[in-house]
């Protein structure tokens, strides 16, 4: 029998601990939860491990403050960093989280040189760039969780608007993970029916606008934190496709050069995820307006990246 896969989750806050929960419940592999706060990852890992007899999942869950314990990981989900607070944009986090992600990535690359990195820390597209620069890993093994989450929010709002099961709804959101993201109604369907055939343009635009502001809406409601159930579930969906070589096509923050004319940045696009990480960037034909919106989003990512000193 082959050994179980190993998943490291960096950051034992709400996003990281919940990612560990989703991964354990899916039995994706043994889990190492790491954080700088002494006792926090150990306590949450033990609590999660004690849920195994109730939920019936067989995997080891360990908490640690020592990166040596993460050695040999197949996947590292990096959630470490400061969360957004009310009135704070993702961009406000840039300098502080750049340093955090740099330090984390150095350690993961040292102990798990063959790992695939999934970045969740904000501002997302810029932090994926930092992780790639610091790790020196091939671009296919460094990607960011963004489009899966943004598309899930769009799908949620569509299903709610039409009073249908979320299982019937497919949607794509491209571009940067922020207010310039580009939901694509033309490529969004309900049981295969294009969204524009089911809703008038003004209702679609309202759903698009809510999707763009989805993270901020949750921050304003919570007041003392940010979203964690959906972001962590999105990162684990990506990890599952990689660990099981499912080759699912999911929207992720992936490196694009000639693809979509991006010119060498990480930005949200549909990709095929398999055992090697990003196996293909899937290019779709965009309308002139969609392309303009997409390039506007790319420009916002470029401006962020240019502010970074790695």
Which one of the listed residues 21, 132, 177, 296 is annotated catalytic? Answer: 177
Known active-site residue 177: yes
Give DSSP secondary structure letters for the chain.
Answer: -PPPPEEEEE--SHHHHHHHHHHHHTT-SEEEEE-SSTTHHHHHHHHHHTTHHHHT----EEEES-GGGGTT-SEEEE--SPPP-TT--GGGGHHHHHHHHHHHHHHHHHH-TTPEEEE-PSSHHHHHHHHHHHH---GGGEEE--HHHHHHHHHHHHHHHHT--GGGEE--EEB-SSTT-EE-GGG-EETTEEGGGTS-HHHHHHHHHHHHTHHHHHHHHHSS----HHHHHHHHHHHHHHHTT--EEEEEEEEESSGGG--SEEEEEEEEEETTEEEEEPP-PPPHHHHHHHHHHHHHHHHHHTT---
- For residues 271, 243, 69, 97, the Cα torsion angle rounded to the nearest 10 degrees is 20
CB atoms within 10 A of CB 71: 15
Q: What angle do CA 141, 33, 238 make, to 5 degrees?
A: 35
Enumerate the active-site residues: 177
């Amino acid at each position: 029998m082959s050994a179980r896969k190993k998943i490291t989750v960096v950051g034992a806050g709400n996003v990281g601990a919940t990612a560990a929960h989703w991964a354990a419940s899916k039995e994706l592999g043994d889990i190492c939860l790491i954080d700088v706060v002494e006792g926090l990852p150990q306590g949450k890992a033990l609590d999660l491990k004690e849920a195994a007899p109730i939920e019936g999942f067989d995997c080891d869950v360990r908490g640690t403050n020592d990166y040596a314990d993460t050695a040999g990981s197949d996947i590292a989900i990096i959630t470490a960093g400061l969360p957004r607070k009310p009135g704070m944009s993702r961009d406000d986090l840039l300098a502080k989280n750049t340093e955090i992600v740099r330090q984390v990535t150095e350690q993961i690359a040292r102990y798990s040189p063959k790992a695939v990195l999934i970045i969740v820390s904000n501002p997302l597209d810029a932090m994926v760039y930092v992780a790639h620069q610091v790790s020196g890993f091939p671009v296919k093994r460094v990607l960011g969780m963004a489009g899966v989450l943004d598309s899930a929010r769009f799908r949620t709002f569509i299903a709610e608007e039409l009073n249908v099961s979320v299982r019937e709804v497919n949607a794509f959101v491209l571009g940067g993970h922020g207010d310039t993201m580009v939901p694509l109604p033309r490529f969004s369907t309900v049981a295969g029916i294009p969204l524009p055939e089911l809703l008038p343009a003004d209702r679609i635009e309202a759903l698009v606008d809510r999707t763009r502001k989805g993270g901020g809406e949750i921050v304003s409601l919570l007041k003392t934190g940010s979203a964690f159930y959906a972001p962590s579930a999105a990162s684990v969906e990506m990890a599952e496709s990689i660990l099981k070589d499912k080759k699912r096509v999911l929207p992720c923050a992936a490196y694009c050069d000639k693809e979509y004319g991006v010119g060498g940045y990480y930005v949200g696009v549909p990709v095929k995820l398999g055992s090697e990480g990003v196996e293909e960037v899937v290019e779709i034909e965009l309308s002139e307006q969609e392309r303009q919106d997409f390039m506007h989003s790319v420009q916002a990512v470029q401006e962020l990246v240019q502010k970074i000193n790695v």
